[in-house]
Amino acid sequence: MPVIVALNRFGSDTEREFEMIRKHLGEQGVEALVCEHFAKGSKGATNLAKSMVKLIDEKPGSLTFVYDDADELWKKIGKVAKKIYHASEVVADTAVRKKIEKFQEERLRQSADLHRDNST
């Protein structure tokens, strides 16, 4: 996945420090930019924004989701645990499973209410 590292400049930072970081990351094919968004707001991150747009144009990534939006909550938890944290399984006692089922039911009700409100 293509990345850019944003280095937020603070008053005590030195150019030598930034150069060391840029050199190290550059050897790994990673661009590092010194930004001043902490001190200058959005104007201090203009170089970051331009570099990000260029990177996206030149090396578009492929976004994939860990789970389907329609998956039940317990299934989503399992997929996150397995695909991101490399868990072999997810285990929960009955009380936790009941709470998750309750959250799932509430989500389905809210979704139905939202759909009904948007269709009128």
pLDDT at residue 97, rounded to an integer: 95
* Residues near 48 by beta carbon (within 8 Å), at least 6 away in sequence: 4, 6, 33, 35, 37
Outline where 1-120 has alpha helix (H): 15-26, 37-40, 46-58, 73-83, 94-118
Task: Please state the pTM of the whole predicted model.
Answer: 0.53
Distance of CA 44 to the CA centre of its chain: 22
Domain locations in the chain?
A: 4-58, 73-118
* Residues near 88 by beta carbon (within 8 Å), at least 6 away in sequence: 82
Successive 10-residue mean pLDDT values, the chain, 120 residues: 90 94 95 92 94 90 89 95 96 96 89 74
pLDDT at residue 92, rounded to an integer: 96
